[in-house]
Amino acid sequence: MAALSWFSIAAVALVLIGLTAVVVGIWRWRVAALVRRTRLLEERVTQRTAALQLATEELHFLAFHDDLTALMNQRGFWQHADKLEMESRTGQTMFGLVLVDLDHFKRVNDRYGHRTGDEVLRHAAGLMQRQCCEADFVCRYGGEEFAILVVDTSPDNLRKLAETLRSEMESHPYKGDSGEIAFTASVGVSYWLGGKDNVEAMFGRADKAMYEAKESRNSWMMWNPAMDFESAPENA
């Protein structure tokens, strides 16, 4: 009878041990599954966060860059112009502004079509970028007009850049399916005058100089005070 009791106790103990092992095994399996699920969720969160960051960066790029040429757009121009103005007010740098307008560009669109016209614009944008320093800001301001913020420069260097840009446009026609398309540009230049000067005033001065250049086309002009007393032509 005693032996049977001990046998019963041993059997019960074995059953309890077995159940405990099963419970522990299930618990370990559930913990492992939970760990795997947590890792999977973390990976998904990381991937979605990276995708969201990339999308945010793309939206920011599109907000401040021209989708045709990948240059900065008008909004990007003024963002950097305001920063340069603030730096120049503290005497840290002197900068210049160059406006470039492609001559008679409507004729290119009318003769070859707007798609080819877009290719000419991309080609012109590339020419300008190659002639500017890495620190400069080349922008497509609108249509066939470009604006370049030239950092840490001087009037003499701005004159050299203006002539280089004019010459590059003239000597490097676009070559594509429609053949060779020659084009030229009119360039207007202004520079920071110090004191209470501001970028809007600089833009106005460069614009006057560009209109002077467009009188003869394929030329450049640097602003001088006499231009303020002359009336700009009504038609570009």
Q: Which residues are catalytic?
A: 144
Name the residue among 63, 62, 184, 173 with its Cα closest to residue 119: 173
Residue 203 has, within 13 A of its CA and on its CB side, a CA count of 15
What residues form DSSP beta bridges with 180?
Answer: 175
CA angle 94, 165, 218 (to 5 degrees): 120
Edge-first strand order for the sheet with 145-150 is 137-142, 145-150, 96-102, 185-191, 220-222
What's the DSSP call for residue 218? S
Name the residue among 141, 138, 142 with its Cα closest to residue 151: 138
Label residue 57 left, alpha or beta by phi (over 0 means left) and psi (-120 to 50 means alpha): alpha
Q: CB of 159 within 8 A of CB of 116?
A: no
